[in-house]
Structure 1
Amino acid sequence: MFLTPSHLLFFSTLVFGMMMAISSSSWFTAWMGLELNLLSFIPLITSETNRFSSEASLKYFLTQALASAMILLASSTMTTGVMFSPYLMSTALLIKMGAAPFHMWFPMVAEGLGWLQFIILSTIQKIAPMTLLSYTLETSHWLIMMVAATSAMVGALGGINQMMLRKLMTYSSIGHTAWMLAALLISESLWLTYFSVYCLTSTTIVLFFFYKQAYHLKHLTSSALQTPKQSTIMFMSLLSLGGLPPFTGFIPKWITVQELAVSSYMFLVFFLILGTLINLYYYLRLTLSSFMMASPMLKWQFIQESSMSNMNLFMMLLNILGLLLSPILFMIN
């Protein structure tokens, strides 16, 4: 994706727009940063080799333009003391990040993206809306809590019957958005911790799919794409993303649940844990089918596997880091 100077330029302006939005001192400047971020991401989506990219970029632009118009309306009415302005602002930011029940555009856009663009959409594009949402917590506290509970269930139930890997990862991202919103209710540092671990675990899996050019469940069960060693790596990575102890993805969820329980958010904790259990169900279904349906290896597959050894080792170290950190955190607590 980032092979041409134009792509590097648009990615640089995308990051600059994000930084401009999160460091702004007024809603108008934040809106300008979000618009720069939007206009920089659309050229990165467009691809001559992907016939669905134009449709995805149009859907993304229309949705984000609607949310931007809502931000302008809310920011202009905040000075007049209108009661619904903070809720309108929070709703616009929730639309931009794809949280349920404002998530309908997210799976449709993700279906037309490549894996590298999907990484940006599910990680970098959430930073600015999440940061700006933290400024409205005092007035829209209950709205964010209800959206977090809804996102946990939508992200869990939406991925059960998905055979397309991009949609499965999309609903997984919606489920993790619920955890990020819940962490944001506690503190920004907790949200940053959860977001950082989510970026690491999800990026390793998406890069694995990108390297193997896997877009459907059957691609993972093909003998030409999967070996026992790679199946084990993917198995551990998905369980880490799902938050199964003692993998890396479990640590921020453990801390978040503890903080939510101390703050008496037991209603929200119930939906978050229930959604995580359902997520683990379809992660296990995905990995077990990959193990059980894979054909015996051919000789040329050993060459393919050895070329991925460095990446496999890197992914393994990231996702089993929790095996080392969990006993330490347990002793501290």
Structure 2
Amino acid sequence: MTCDLNLLFFTITIFSALVVISSNNWISMWMGLEMNLMAFIPYISKSKNHFMSQSSMMYFLTQSMGSLLMLFTILSSNMINNYMNIMLILSMCIKTGTPPFHSWLPEMMSKMNWMKGYTLMTLQKIAPLTIMSKTNHSVLLLMLIIMSVLIGAIGGINQTSMRKLMAYSSINHTGWMISCMYINNMSWMMYFIMYTTILAPIILWLNNNKIYYINQINSSVKNTMEKLIMSMMMLSMGGLPPFIGFYPKWMVIQYMINMQTKWIIIIMVMSSLLTLYFYIKMISSYLLMNNSTNKWMIKSIKSSNYSTLAMTLNMILPLLMYINMY
């Protein structure tokens, strides 16, 4: 019964995001966001855990504030168009956890399991980012880009909780998605799809091994092949070439250079180096240490599916893209 209810709420969550994407007026978009909120809260609160109750209340309060601000903006029909764009963007920043309204996202992630946290970092951002892409305020978008990439990079440096670290990584990638909106409204979807695809095998591995803190990674990696695969996944998430994670960032960099906004590119690339630092910190424990494990503690690897997915994403797809470009 619980599985059926989870599937029902998850289906409504997807459907509400599609409602926002297909809507052509603000009221319909607001209704889609409310459907999304009412379906996602019971989806994350099904676990009998007081932490999930806290995260549900936290999510409800923040999303209600964003929805109230959006509704107030829509109903104030006599607003100046520029002011309306600012208010809509700020309301969507509250909903996505974009700086300066980001503090709820890492705290909420730290109280959720990996699969529901993955939904929060990916699916729950589709509707607000769609609404944000329909607005137009270049100066505010530039400020959000800079704050997102810097706070997402700096906030994850001293984190030991893997869930908070992935939340700050999501904030950093949100900044890159907003930069796609600044240059081309539709290109953010491509970045979002690639980010979601790269993140999936990492979340599956962390969930299967029940890893919640950095010091648990070393004892969870069992052989050299798994070390190699996990290293590729983390470095790809940080956007290191020649892995597939570098491709969407390369696309943004090319667009930004053509638009003569090189100073923003410098900030974004430097922030990516900081995110690479804490990704390398995660994998360095099992790459640089020669750990020993008793034979009776070694479990058979049941992760062949996400291992194959990670190898395909990070080695084969970049080669195909390079061939197609030249």
Normalised to the residue count of structure 2, the TM-score between the two structures is 0.95
Equivalent position of 1:39 in the other structure: 38
Q: 1:231 deviation in Å? A: 2.0
Partner of 1:312: 307
Assess, with a 3 A threshold, how the Cα gap between structure 1 residues 30 and 310 changes in structure 2: closer, same or farther: closer
- 1:24 matched residue in structure 2: 23
Aligned twin of 1:236: 232
User: Aligned to 1:246, which of 236, 242, 246?
Assistant: 242
Contact 2:204 2:306 (8 Å CA) reproduced: no
Letter of the structure 2 residue corresponding to residue 246 of structure 1: P
Which whole-Å CA distance do the structure 1 matches of 2:289 and 2:32 have between them?
48
Distance 2:216 2:193 in 1: 29
Q: 2:198: which partner in 1?
A: 201
Percent of aligned pairs with the same amino acid: 35
* SS in structure 1 of the partner of residue 191 of structure 2: helix
For 1:96-135, list aligned pairs within 5 A. Answer: 96-135=95-134
Task: Classify the secondary structure of the residue corresponding to 1:311.
Answer: helix
**Count, aligned residues:** 326
Give the drift of 1:168: 0.6
Aligned counterparts, 1:168-247, within 5 A: 168-222=165-219, 226-247=222-243
Deviation per CA, 1:30-79: give whole Å up to 9, x if none.
11100100111111111434331110111111000000000001111144
Question: In structure 2, the residue corresponding to 1:25 is in which secondary structure?
Answer: coil
Aligned-pair CA distance for 1:325: 3.5
1:115–1:210 CA contact under 8 A, matched in 2: yes
Q: Is the 8 A contact 1:78 1:86 kept in 2?
A: no
Which amino acid in 2 is paired with 1:38?
L
When residues 232 and 33 of structure 1 are mapped into structure 2, their CA distance, relative to the original with a 3 A threshold, is: same
Residue 82 of structure 1, CA deviation = 6.7
* Letter paired with 2:271: G
Whole-angstrom distance in 2 between the partners of 1:82 and 1:190? 24
Match of 2:253 in 1: 257
Residue aligning to 2:282:
286
Query: C-alpha distance in 1, partners of 2:236/2:149?
Result: 17
- Decide which of 273, 285, 291 is 1:277's aligned counterpart: 273
1:324 aligns with 2:323: no
Asked if the contact 2:201/2:307 (under 8 Å) is kept, the reply is no
Query: C-alpha displacement at 1:323, in angstroms?
Result: 4.1
- CA-atom RMSD in angstroms: 1.8
Give the deviation of 1:286 after TM superposition: 1.1
SS across alignment from 1:304: coil
For 1:13, the aligned partner's letter is I
2:52/2:111 contact within 8 Å kept:
yes
Where in structure 2 are the equivalents of 1:80-159 lying within 5 Å?
A: 80-81=79-80, 84-137=83-136, 140-159=137-156
User: Are 2:61 and 1:62 equivalent residues in the alignment?
Assistant: yes
* Deviation (angstroms), 1:3: 6.1
Find the aligned partners of 1:7 and 1:321 in 2 and give their Cα distance: 35
Counterpart of 2:239 in structure 1: which amino acid? G
- The equivalent position to 1:298 in structure 2, one of 287, 294, 297, is 294
State the TM-score, normalizing by the size of structure 1. Answer: 0.93
Matches of 2:86 and 2:9, distance apart in 1: 32
3-state SS of the aligned residue for 1:192? helix
Compare 80-89 and 265-274 and name the one that shifted more. Answer: 80-89
Mapped to 1, the partners of 2:85 and 2:233 lie a distance apart of: 38
**Mean Cα deviation higher: 12-21 or 56-65:** 12-21
Structure 1: 5+ residue runs without aligned partners? none
Contact 1:239 1:280 in 2 (8 A): yes
